[in-house]
Amino acid sequence: MSARRLTAIVASLALFICAAYSLYWFHAAGQVQNRAQAWAETRRSEGWSVDWQALETSGFPWHLTLSVTQPRLVTPSGLSWAAGHLRVSTLPLWPDKAHLSTSGHQDIWWNGRDLGGELESLDADLSPGTADAHAHGMRHTSGLTFADMALSLARLPPHPTPTGHPASWRFALSARDVGLPAAAGIAGFAEQLALAEISGRVMGAIPDGPPMAAIARWSKQGGVLELDHLAADWPPMGLEGDGTAALDPHGQPLVALSTRIRGFDSLMDRLGQSGLIDPASARTLKTILGLMSKPDPRGRPAITAPLSIQDGQLYLGPARLTPVPAIPWADFTSQ
């Protein structure tokens, strides 16, 4: 076979592949829009409100991106979200994996409470059974801010347990440089949490349905969060622990933690120097707490103490510390 003939065959084959792939891409783009419309219709039949201003596909040839302008969702439980734009991108030949992104103002409301704010960026990688999301630069009108937040979710395979409530999901959530509203400030503590982390497992399957109704049914079926790791670095103090969390019959948190608390000596110094506690009393408390402490795994003096939340109150051992804001369910018992 001559070189000219071989070149012609290869060129023809390349043209055929390009034409076939182009047809595939545009067919896939049409299917993506159809699936988005079908998803919206299904949600509407379940009582959701789903709206947008425009749907557009782009990214040819290497990506397939669905751009949604002015998306808005309202669930039957009263949770609503709206934003200026949302983009979902995938590789045409591997559509099971997708990348979601948005930025700007996120309008989020739940039972009359404004939970939204400004986001520099939100990116999430989604695939069957897993999700990894990262948010940067959040600012809420209340004064709550954070530099970075990360969330990871992974579905776990069914595994029988003696309680009949196997773990269905594994989760991890962390936030860095969390700025608190002025009203949440506590004397002696910094204005920012340097780090907050929580990870664990969801025990019991979460039923299908609108998010709030699904959580309510999961709770009533005995669902519990097993908290494998909990940590907070709020200068001058830090906390590490583990435990369990659930919802009571009214949908309010029930939390039981075993914790190690460190930094109490620096806190007593601050309180004594500021005059919020008599300096002599601060020194006495510092000595007593020091005698109660033991080295943590990194050799830092720490106090082992139980923390719990019940009946809307936070407790350290038997001592009541402060009220805990209620979860604003519209009607948890009817979910």
Instruction: Please give the Cα distance from 107 to 101 (Å, whole number).
Output: 15
User: HSE of 280 in the Cβ direction (CA atoms, 13 Å)?
Assistant: 0
Query: Phi, psi (5° rounding) for residue 120?
Result: -65, -40
121 vs 105: CA distance, rounded Å = 10
Q: Domain boundaries in the chain?
A: 142-334
pTM of the model: 0.84
Closest to 264 measured CA to CA, from 300, 318, 299: 300
CA distance 246 to 255: 6
From first to last of its 335 residues, the chain has per-residue pLDDT tens of 567 776 767 677 878 788 888 898 998 899 999 999 999 999 999 889 999 999 999 999 889 999 999 999 998 878 899 999 999 999 988 888 999 999 999 999 887 888 889 999 999 999 999 999 999 999 987 788 999 999 999 999 876 655 567 889 999 999 999 988 765 556 667 788 899 999 999 998 888 877 778 888 899 888 999 999 999 998 888 889 999 999 998 889 999 999 998 887 777 777 777 666 677 777 777 787 777 778 877 877 888 889 899 998 888 788 777 788 888 776 665 66
Distance of alpha carbon 53 from alpha carbon 86, whole angstroms: 11
Helix (H) or strand (E) holding 290: helix 279-292
